[in-house]
Structure 1
Amino acid sequence: MSNNDSTSTHNDAEPQSPVAPIVYFGNTPEDQQVGVRKLVDLFYDEMDQNPNFERIRKLHPMHLDHSREKFYLFLSGWLGGPDLYSPQFGHPRLRMRHMPFPISSEDRDQWLLCMVNALRAMALPEKVIEGLMLSFFRTADWMRNQPDPEGSAKGLSTISIKGE
């Protein structure tokens, strides 16, 4: 599907998580969880402090503590670590939980830029970042629930995840 297609053709199957990249966040399970927490904090700090991400920031509550915690719990399992989210909240049902929020390609792209900036701040190998960003793109694109406005940019073609 192109980035400008109607979102009604989305497949209802949830995108798969990447294959255990949590190993890049530390050598021990404890270090890995610290790494996931750091990624989440860098991500939300980027969203909160960079005026370029005002649009996506407005989709979040004023205080980000709860959002940070839930994203940390989710990412732990999604990245191949322990499943900390499901015991507390049940199946993630990402698309259903995000339906109340209008998410377009522009919102997806801002989210992805926050994430790539956070991953780069962690100084992970570029190949790891590229692999993670592909998985993040699939999931973020699947979350779109708004058609793109007529004449809008076509999405990620204008965003480089390789830093070029």
Structure 2
Amino acid sequence: MERYQGTIYEALGGESVLRQVVEAFYPKVQAHPLIGPLFPENIDPVVEKQILFLTQFFGGPAVYSELYGHPMMRARHLPFPITPKHADAWLSCMEAAMQEVNIDPELSQVIIQRLRGPAYHFVNQP
């Protein structure tokens, strides 16, 4: 990330580009045979919360916490069976979404590395 200044959120281009990525991401998630069934049919509220969460997670305004309190993401994911294959699928969908939105490949890899920790932290099944 040496060639980028500031936060991942800023390097990405702020809310408008992050929204494009998340909006490209969820159709991929919904179509994925492994992780799609874990998500509700009405994905719109999930999209909006994900935009707010990733904004904060990548160094932008802390709007998620202001609206919903501490993210407590592991606790929020505990009701769902999540294996390492689920984490891999989620990350793969995110990588494909960033490619679709033409995010710089170097920045995309920085983002995937940043998301890898939380994705595997949510694993609760072998």
State the TM-score, normalizing by the size of structure 2. Answer: 0.90
In structure 2, what residue type is equivalent to 1:78? Answer: F
Cα-Cα RMSD? 1.2
Which whole-Å CA distance do the structure 1 matches of 2:33 and 2:62 have between them?
Answer: 31
Contact (CA 8 Å) 1:20, 1:80: kept in 2 or not? yes
Aligned counterpart, 1:36: 18
Rg larger in structure: 1
Deviations 1:36-60 (A, max 9, x none): 1111101102222x4xx12201001
Number of residue pairs matched by the alignment: 121
Residue 61 of structure 1: how far off its partner (Å): 0.6
Residue 25 of structure 1: how far off its partner (Å): 2.7
Aligned counterpart, 1:125: 104
Correspondence for 2:8 among 15, 18, 21? 21
Contact (CA 8 Å) 1:24, 1:124: kept in 2 or not? no
Deviations 1:132-156 (A, max 9, x none): 1111111101110001xxxxxxxxx
State the TM-score, normalizing by the size of structure 1. Answer: 0.70
Deviations 1:89-146 (A, max 9, x none): 1100110110000100111111011000011112122111111111111110111000
Structure 1 residues 24-103: aligned runs within 5 Å: 24-26=11-13, 32-48=14-30, 50=31, 53-103=32-82
Which whole-Å CA distance do the structure 1 matches of 2:63 and 2:97 have between them?
Answer: 21
Aligned counterpart, 2:3: none
Query: As a proportion of its length, which structure holds more helix?
Result: 2
Q: Does 1:146 align with 2:113?
A: no
Which whole-Å CA distance do the structure 1 matches of 2:28 and 2:33 have between them?
Answer: 10
Which whole-Å CA distance do the structure 2 matches of 1:99 and 1:70 have between them?
Answer: 17
Q: Sequence identity of aligned pairs in percent?
A: 32
Residue 24 of structure 1: how far off its partner (Å): 2.5
Contact (CA 8 Å) 1:43, 1:114: kept in 2 or not? yes
Gaps of at least 5 residues in structure 1 are: 1-18, 27-31, 148-164
